[in-house]
Amino acid sequence: MKKSNSAFITSYERDNETDLDYAKARMYGNSYGRFTSPDPLLTSGRIENPQTWNRYIYALNNPLLYIDPFGLYEWASSAGGQATDEELLARSKDKSLKKSERKLAEKQYNFRQQFKAGLEAAKAAANDPQLTPQQRAEAQRAVNSYGEWKKEDDVSVGIVAKKGDAPNVAFGESDGKIHVDLNLNLSNRNPIITIAHEGSHIADFQELASARGTPNESNKDVDAYTTERRAYFVSSYMAQALNVSPYYPEESKDRQIWNKGWKENVREVKRANGVTNYTPWSETNRGPKISTQKNTRY
């Protein structure tokens, strides 16, 4: 049997000196088909699937069906679960399947391509030199939350349940993962900005998860006002970097969070006022702590 080049398929970067592949969360020994260290995600082992108990295996010991591009990453079932892009594409064209099954596979495949392209565009925009160093840091924190998850829980990326639903982030009730369900086709929202906005929420959840059991836990358990306000600032920075102007997340054009016509001496005041107008909570009604948000969505 010809050995598949998983490094090529997943875009792993190979270290020629050690012959190991960099999988972001850990190193992969391509000659052995095993990672060189155990899975750092404590929630990845599942009782119903004994293959997940081995903390060193690659892609559940089934590399012909699955890939592991990050050493951690997992699509939600709504986005195709463990099926590869190639498998979803094949299912979308398989006439032996019901039309509804083909349509679902096509939807899942298209969502994945749109998300991956949007995330790459968001990462580029987060480095835009017209943003201040602090603004770039906030934007980078948001977009990096998807691909650099190395803490106790992992991120599950899926599709919203209904066509018109807004994107949302929450801790899963049963699995402890951070779930982000995205809607990248809302007419009044830019998909790249949406990815960054929800990424800011993910980063807040990640910081809380990593602080569990430490004296800093209460400081990281931010309220709804804080996390939403931070995310809308990221949206504003991304709109500026992407030259989307004017930008207003919902339908109220008089509540802009970015406009390239703003004069520089009042720009940040107008930005802050716009973000304040969009945040559903306030200084006097700050909303619940994110630790309580299990299957309750932002």
Asked if 71 and 23 count as a contact pair (C-beta separation under 8 A), the reply is yes
pLDDT band for 56, please (50, 70, 90 cuts).
Answer: low
Do 191 and 118 form a contact (C-beta atoms < 8 A)? yes
CA-to-CA distance for 279 and 292, rounded, in angstroms? 19
pLDDT surpasses 80 at 289: yes
Dump pLDDT digits (tens) for 75-113.
Answer: 889 999 888 899 999 999 999 999 999 999 999 999 999
Domains of the chain: which residue ranges? 6-72, 99-292
Torsion angles phi and psi, residue 82, rounded to 5: -85, 0
% residues pLDDT > 70 (the chain): 69
Nearest to 30 by CA among 51, 6, 10: 6
Higher pLDDT, 275 or 16: 275
Q: pTM of the entire structure?
A: 0.74
